[in-house]
Amino acid sequence: MTATRAIRGRLRASLLDAWRAFGLSFVSLAGSVTLFVLSLLSITLILLGVGLVTTPTVLAAVREHAELRRRLAAAWSDVRIPAAYRPFPPDLRTGFTGQVERTTLLLKDPATWRDLRWLLVDMTAGYALLALTFALVVFPVEGLAVAAGLWRAFGDDPYWYGFVPVTGQASALAAGALGAVLLLLAPRTTRPLLRLHFVLARAVLAPTHEEELARRIDRLTETRYEAVDTAASELRRIERDLHDGAQARLVAMGMNLGTIEALVEKDPAQAKKLLAMARESSAEALTELRDLVRGIHPPVLAERGLGDAVKALALRLPLATEVSVELPGRAEAPVESAAYFAVSEALTNAVKHAGADRVWVDMHHADGMLRVSVTDNGKGGAVVGAGSGLSGIERRLGTFDGVLAVSSPAGGPTMVTMEIPCALS
Amino acid sequence: MRVVLAEDLFLLRDGLVRMLEAYDFEIAAAVETGPELTRALAELEPDVAVVDVRLPPSHTDEGLQCALAARRARPGLPVLVLSQHVEQLYARELLADGNGGIGYLLKDRVFDADQFIDAVRRVAAGGTAMDPQVISQLLSRRSQDSPMAGLTPREREVMELMAQGRSNGAIASQMVVTERAVAKHTSNIFGKLGLPPSDDDNRRVLAVLAYLDRG
């Protein structure tokens, strides 16, 4: 029973593969041919000027076409094809000049030429693989149909089913047997063939090692610049806080003490009053310093690490917060600090903007990644935009190759997730 | 009264020694690292320990951990923990064994010698001394809570002082009312919060803190 069920399951899977290959073969042939012709035409027409306007649109369509294949490769065969298009600079001009700039940038991008090469491969070898996948299921089914009586339709001429000449019911049954054998073999062939199609696409589409290195260097340059910039502005903020806060208070205290010295015999009552003031101001200076220290590196973080620091932070919040931590060790101090301030910012947003009354924080470490999520039941609508606290977090995490994702549909809930590659010690 | 003091910064350690001696405490030992503290607590059996949270060599919460370990070995060993910052998280850990004889104060509180010494004495006697900041954090989290909302401002004030570990007498003198008035407020508070009444000051404080921390 189980054996039959297993065979049936495998047959169903290979039928699905065949069906997918069938559908995709149209996309592959028609899409790739059309887009290739259009791209070629559009790029040639650049000489006449028209191409300058049409090329970005056509190439965008090519990228969409390739993107669809990337998605299907991941979904159907678990083949990951990285995309490595150079982003457009944000200050691109509008109108005709912008379009010209766009065309130039696109033609300079090696990924564009890789896409075009892939279109050629896809409409030939790629298509052939899809057709074969489909045929490996259809052909056996035809054999069964021939055996079931379709042979009568072929008349007197021997119909060749594979290597079997079909002339009557007997040979038709032989064709049917061959079909059945092929059908049973189908589950072993369709899956690898479909996968091969995507592997072929990956071989042509994926960026070369050198390109990946170049992109990595670009990214490192960018994040390093941002890290230095952030550090510098943080230092400026600390300097200003110290200058206007604790430092000023100490000056005032020193002054008061001087006055007290002068007054202590002449007017003890007034001196006592000033002493009380001096003490108050020293207490205030301490409070300010404490807040400043908390902003630079929270003491609990230094003493206990990320887990307890976030728990302590949660206890300070005016709303119900659940913190679950699964960290078997401590990450490097800069990573801990970045993660802490990221959580802190996300929690602040939940309190200030989302109007939430419950927050859940989850932190764990798996596969060399520190994963943190902060979820609230507020009204949603949070975006990572210029100037928002979240984009600051994104930059800070970027220094560690960390990423931030925000899911915040209108009406809530908001979920901020972060991933930072790091090792625990 | 014999004190073991653990503080790594020389200036503060020296200042504390002077202050405690001025109030007739006997300094059994003034140490600067965690291991030294552990040894002193085990060997000298002081009446009270005054401990900085952060101590060398690790410069983490070593002082706190030593204090907690010593209290596990000798339940109820009076410990007053000092820190540059107070955290509800740490307060919870200190209070977890429910034994009393616990203090947790900001270092700023040493500015007011009388109050600080009062806190040390209270802890040594098995009482509690919680920093006002811990209490206000606890209270701010419980503000929407219905039984708490039922307290009058006066009762809230009494509760805040009580949670810090003050006795009825101390609360009365601070609020400039009679002790009897304070006693009335306390019984009202316990009634409104549904806590079992008790004549023992320390039990009462611990009950209030446990109630506040439950949030």
Regarding whether A47 and A121 lie in a shared domain, the answer is yes
Q: Which amino acid is at A292?
A: L
Q: Which amino acid is at B95?
A: L
Tokens of B120: 């040390």
Check: CB of residue A390 under 8 Å from CB of residue A352.
no
Regarding whether A141 and A113 lie in a shared domain, the answer is yes
Query: What integer is the mean pLDDT of B87-91?
Result: 90
With CB atoms and an 8 Å threshold, state whether B61 touches A304. Answer: yes
A103 Cβ neighbours under 8 A, 6+ residues apart: A46, A51, A52, A55, A56
Q: Is A231 exposed, middle or buried (0-12, 13-18, 19+ CB in 10 A)?
A: exposed
Regarding whether A284 and A189 lie in a shared domain, the answer is no
Last residue of a domain, one of A161, A184, A205: A205
Chain B: give the shortest CA distance to residue A309, in Å.
9
Please give the biggest Cα pair distance in chain A.
135
With CB atoms and an 8 Å threshold, state whether B89 touches A312. Answer: yes
With CB atoms and an 8 Å threshold, state whether B87 touches A300. Answer: yes
Regarding whether A198 and A60 lie in a shared domain, the answer is yes
Q: What is the CATH number of the domain that holds A401?
A: 3.30.565.10
Given this model, what pLDDT does residue B24 score? 94
User: Over pLDDT 70: what percentage of chain B?
Assistant: 97
For residue A156, give the 3-state DSSP assignment: coil
Query: What integer is the mean pLDDT of B96-110?
Result: 89
Mutate to test the interface with A, among B8, B66, B89, B92 (most CBs of A within 10 A): B89
With CB atoms and an 8 Å threshold, state whether A311 touches B143. Answer: no
A330 Cβ neighbours under 8 A, 6+ residues apart: A305, A306, A336, A424, A425
What is the rounded distance in angstroms from the CA atom of residue B80 to the CA atom of residue B103?
4
Pairing type for strands B79-83 and B48-52 reads parallel
Check: CB of residue A154 under 8 Å from CB of residue A166.
yes
Taking CA atoms, what residue in B is nearest to A357?
B144
The angle formed by the CA atoms of residues A257, A260 and A261, to the nearest 5 degrees, is: 90
A345 Cβ neighbours under 8 A, 6+ residues apart: A389, A390, A392, A393
B6 Cβ neighbours under 8 A, 6+ residues apart: B30, B31, B32, B33, B34, B36, B37, B40, B49, B50, B51, B52, B55, B63, B66
Total domain count for chain A?
Answer: 3
Residue A316: Cβ within 10 Å count? 15
Q: Is B186 exposed, middle or buried (0-12, 13-18, 19+ CB in 10 A)?
A: buried
The angle formed by the CA atoms of residues B131, B134 and B135, to the nearest 5 degrees, is: 90
Name the strands in the sheet holding A320-326, side by side, starting at the edge strand that comes first in the sequence: A320-326, A358-366, A369-376, A414-421, A403-407
Chain B: give the shortest CA distance to residue A416, in Å.
24
Chain B: give the shortest CA distance to residue A213, in Å.
40
With CB atoms and an 8 Å threshold, state whether A315 touches B89. Answer: yes
Mutate to test the interface with A, among B59, B87, B214 (most CBs of A within 10 A): B87
Closest CA to A90 of A101, A82, A103, A74: A101
Taking CA atoms, what residue in A is nearest to B111?
A279
With CB atoms and an 8 Å threshold, state whether A312 touches B87. Answer: yes
What is the rounded distance in angstroms from the CA atom of residue A54 to the CA atom of residue A67?
20
B83 CB neighbours in chain A (<8 A) are: 299
With CB atoms and an 8 Å threshold, state whether B84 touches A293. Answer: yes
Q: Does B53 touch chain A (CB under 8 A)?
A: yes
What is the rounded distance in angstroms from the CA atom of residue A43 to the CA atom of residue B103?
79
For residue B143, give the 3-state DSSP assignment: coil
Regarding whether A151 and A232 lie in a shared domain, the answer is no
With CB atoms and an 8 Å threshold, state whether B61 touches A303. Answer: yes
With CB atoms and an 8 Å threshold, state whether B54 touches A299. Answer: yes
Residue position matching structure tokens 């509180």 = B109
Given this model, what pLDDT does residue A1 score? 59
Regarding whether A264 and A151 lie in a shared domain, the answer is no
Regarding whether A41 and A187 lie in a shared domain, the answer is yes
Regarding whether A147 and A33 lie in a shared domain, the answer is yes
A282 CB neighbours in chain B (<8 A) are: 111
How does pLDDT run across B132-180, given as a tens digit for each residue? 988 888 887 765 656 778 888 898 889 889 999 988 888 999 899 999 9
Check: CB of residue A56 under 8 Å from CB of residue A88.
no
With CB atoms and an 8 Å threshold, state whether A293 touches B60. Answer: no
Provide DSSP, A48-93.
GTHHHHHHHHHHHHHHHHHHHHHHHHHHHH-------PPPPPTT--
Q: Does B142 touch chain A (CB under 8 A)?
A: no
With CB atoms and an 8 Å threshold, state whether B84 touches A311. Answer: no
Integer-rounded Cα radius of gyration of chain B = 17
Query: What integer is the mean pLDDT of B6-32?
Result: 93
Regarding whether A384 and A396 lie in a shared domain, the answer is yes
ipTM: 0.83
Last residue of a domain, one of A296, A330, A363: A296
Of B60, B88, B141, the CB nearest to A302: B60
With CB atoms and an 8 Å threshold, state whether A283 touches B111. Answer: yes
A310 CB neighbours in chain B (<8 A) are: none
- Band of pLDDT at residue B31, cut at 50, 70 and 90: very high
With CB atoms and an 8 Å threshold, state whether B84 touches A299. Answer: yes
With CB atoms and an 8 Å threshold, state whether B60 touches A282. Answer: no
Q: Does B114 touch chain A (CB under 8 A)?
A: no
Q: Does B87 touch chain A (CB under 8 A)?
A: yes
B84 CB neighbours in chain A (<8 A) are: 290, 293, 299
pLDDT of chain A, 425 residues: tens digit per residue: 577 887 788 878 888 888 888 999 988 889 999 999 999 999 998 888 888 888 888 999 999 999 999 999 988 888 888 888 888 877 777 777 888 888 888 888 888 999 999 999 999 999 999 998 888 888 888 888 888 877 777 766 777 777 777 777 788 888 888 888 888 888 888 888 889 999 999 988 888 888 888 888 988 898 888 888 888 988 998 898 888 888 888 888 888 888 898 898 889 999 988 888 888 888 888 888 998 988 888 999 999 999 999 999 998 888 888 999 999 999 999 999 999 999 998 998 888 888 888 999 999 999 899 999 999 998 888 877 656 778 888 888 888 989 998 888 888 799 999 999 999 88
Chain B: give the shortest CA distance to residue A341, in Å.
17
What is the rounded distance in angstroms from the CA atom of residue A379 to the CA atom of residue A219?
34
Tokens of A125: 């070898």
Q: First and final CA of chain A: distance in angstroms?
A: 52
- pTM of this structure: 0.71
Regarding whether A237 and A172 lie in a shared domain, the answer is no
A303 CB neighbours in chain B (<8 A) are: 53-54, 60-61, 64
A294 CB neighbours in chain B (<8 A) are: 85
Chain B: give the shortest CA distance to residue A293, in Å.
10
Provide DSSP, A210-236.
HHHHHHHHHHHHHHHHHHHHHHHHHHH
Residue A29 is classified by DSSP as: I
Quote the domain boundaries for residue A83.
Answer: 2-205
Check: CB of residue A332 under 8 Å from CB of residue A353.
no
Given this model, what pLDDT does residue A156 score? 63
Chain A: give the shortest CA distance to residue B77, in Å.
24
Pairing type for strands A369-376 and A414-421 reads antiparallel
Of A286, A308, A312, the CB nearest to B108: A286
Regarding whether A236 and A252 lie in a shared domain, the answer is yes
Chain A: give the shortest CA distance to residue B14, in Å.
19
Q: Does B137 touch chain A (CB under 8 A)?
A: yes
- Band of pLDDT at residue B40, cut at 50, 70 and 90: very high
Given this model, what pLDDT does residue B143 score? 58
Check: CB of residue A329 under 8 Å from CB of residue A305.
no
Regarding whether A312 and A292 lie in a shared domain, the answer is no
Q: Does B52 touch chain A (CB under 8 A)?
A: no
A316 CB neighbours in chain B (<8 A) are: 88, 137
Residue B197 is classified by DSSP as: P
Last residue of a domain, one of A246, A261, A296: A296
Check: CB of residue B20 under 8 Å from CB of residue B47.
no
With CB atoms and an 8 Å threshold, state whether B88 touches A283. Answer: no
